[in-house]
Amino acid sequence: MSTTTVAPPTIAHTVVGPVRLTGARPTNELPQWLIDEAKVDEKQSFDPKRHMNYQPPSKIYTMKDIGLEGQGISPHAVTAPFQLFTEEAIQQMRAEIFSKPVLDECQYTSPFVKNTIRGMGPARAPFICDAWRSPEVLAKISDVAGIDLIPAMNYEIAAINIAVNGETATVIKDTKTADDDLPAFAWHWDSYPFVCVTMLSDCTGMVGGETALKTASGEIMKVRGPAMGTAVVMQGRYIEHQALKAFGGRERISMITSFRAKSALVKDDTVLTGVRPISNVLELYREWSEYRLKVLEERIRAQMENERQQQLGQRPFKISDMKTFLIRQREFLDATIAELIE
C-alpha cells in the first residue's frame, strides 16, 4: 500500500448530472447475442492467484503534469492502461453482468449514458464484489493511485457502461476522420475521488476510446484506450475528463468502480449528483448515510484520542483547534444532508 503524504486538497469542482432525482429504466433492449455470449459453463469464486494478471502501468501522470498540483487527495492524476484481470476473470464478470437478475433489476439510463448497470450487489454479482474487495486488488489500485483506497460504497461495485454498435464489426477505412474525437460521454467531473475503469470488451479492431483530460491551461491530453482486462485509475473528482468515442467492434463495455480514501481523516468531497439519477435512491441513500456516519465516527474517535494524549502530556487545551475540528465536521454533516434529496 502507498504511504504517500497527501497535500491538503482544494475545493472540488461542481458535478453536473441529469436533473432526474430517481433512476429511469432504459426503453431499448440489449441484443440477445450479447446476453447469450456472456454465459459460462462454470461459475467461479474470485481467486487473486487465478484471476489477477497485474502488470504495473507504463506511466503514471501526476497532478503536477496537468497543472493541478496540490489539488485532490493524491499527487497522482491518471495511469496509462495496465493489466489487472485475466480473460477468465472478465468472462466471469460478464456472466454476472448479463444474468437475468441483474438485467431485470439493475439497468438504468440517462441523457449521459444510454445503457448502464448499477447496484448489482453481492447477491447478484458475488464474483465482481469479491474482486473489488480483495486485499490483493485493493493493494494494486492503491499503489497506482498514490493513496490507500477502498470502494466508495457497495452500491458502487460497480457501474457498467454498455455501447453496442451492431452484430457485425465496423470496418474503418480512414481512422483520421473529423469524427475521431467525438465523445462517448460529455466533459464532466466524477462524484467520487477516484475511479478505476476496466475494459470488459475485446478491443480487436477498435480505434479510439481514449480518455481525454483537460489540463489547467485548457489543453487536452489523451490517455490511450485500454484492452480487455486492462484498467485505468484516475482521480476523476478533481480532473475534468471525458471518454472519447470508440470505432469498430460490436460492443464497448467498461466497468467503472468508484473509490474513496481509506483514511477517514482525508478530506472527502464526494457528492451524489452524477449517480443519483441512475440509482435506486433508497439503497444509495442508506449506504451513503452509513459510510458518512462511519467517517464521522472515526474522525471523532481520532480527535478524542488526540485530546486524551494532550491531557496525559499536560499540554494546554487549544480552543481554536477544537473549534476548527468541530466546524469541519459540521460542514461534513451539512454536505451529507444536502445529498439526501427527496
How many Cβ atoms are within 10 Å of 246's Cβ, its own excluded?
Answer: 23
pLDDT score, position 252: 86
- Give CA–CA dist 286/289, Å, rounded: 5
Classify residue 105 by burial, with Cβ atoms within 10 Å: 0-12, 13-18, 19+: middle
Q: Cell numbers 497532478 label which residue?
A: 63
- 251 forms beta bridges with 164
pLDDT score, position 28: 85
pLDDT score, position 205: 81
The predicted-structure confidence for 331-341, as pLDDT tens digits, reads as follows: 999 999 999 99
Domain 32-263 indexed as CATH 2.60.120: yes
pLDDT score, position 3: 38
Q: How would DSSP label each residue in 54-110?
A: ----S-EEETTTTT-TT-SSSSEEEEPPEE-B-HHHHHHHHHHHTSHHHHHHSEEB-
- Give CA–CA dist 239/77, Å, rounded: 8
CB-based contacts of 156, cutoff 8 Å, min separation 6: 118, 192, 257, 258, 275
Q: Cell numbers 485509475 label which residue?
A: 233
Q: Which residues of the chain have pLDDT under 70?
A: 1-11, 13-22, 166-185, 225
How many Cβ atoms are within 10 Å of 86's Cβ, its own excluded?
Answer: 15
Give me the residue spans of the domains in the chain. Answer: 32-263, 280-342
Q: 292 with 335: CB under 8 angstroms? A: no
Q: 119 with 25: CB under 8 angstroms? A: no
